[in-house]
Amino acid sequence: MHSLNQEIKAFSRNNLRKQCTRVTTLTGKKIIETWKDARIHVVEEVEPSSGGSCGYVQDLSLDLHVGVIKPWLLLGSQDAAHDLDILKKHKDGVVFVHCNAGVSRAAAIVIGFLMNSEEISFTSAFTLVKNARPSICPNTGFMQQLRTYQEGKQRNECDNIQELEKGDSS
């Protein structure tokens, strides 16, 4: 068995695989980068398509997945909200929460709702929603707000217990 010291001494850059990275810049320009002589080199450059840049990589495919959180609570994107055939598959009396992509805003609302109505932790609510709609990814601000909400709920529970204990002792 070789020692780490022997492996380090035997290291050679020539043994590394050549690597390239496909990048779409914020302006929409598509480039392929590679490393040569410890410097980045642009291998290929393609001008963005006409119509201007959106500042992010567009995904024009429809997202018709509807996550069933509870039999009466659904989560999805605006694509699903606009598709009547998909909506008709679900019986009357259900709530369909959606936003543009059904990934951040709507997911955060559903997680917060479950924490409140089902009296479950942030982790449990997040897991429940993530299992029903794997693409969720609430932004960091929403995640922090949900954690702060949980901390506030826990403080209130502690205060209520202390009040009950004071009432019992008097």
Interatomic CA distance for residues 86 and 138, integer angstroms: 24
Interatomic CA distance for residues 55 and 59, integer angstroms: 12
Residues carrying an active site annotation = 99
Strand ranges inside the chain, DSSP E: 20-24, 30-36, 39-46, 67-70, 73-77, 95-99
CB 35 within 8 A of CB 41: yes
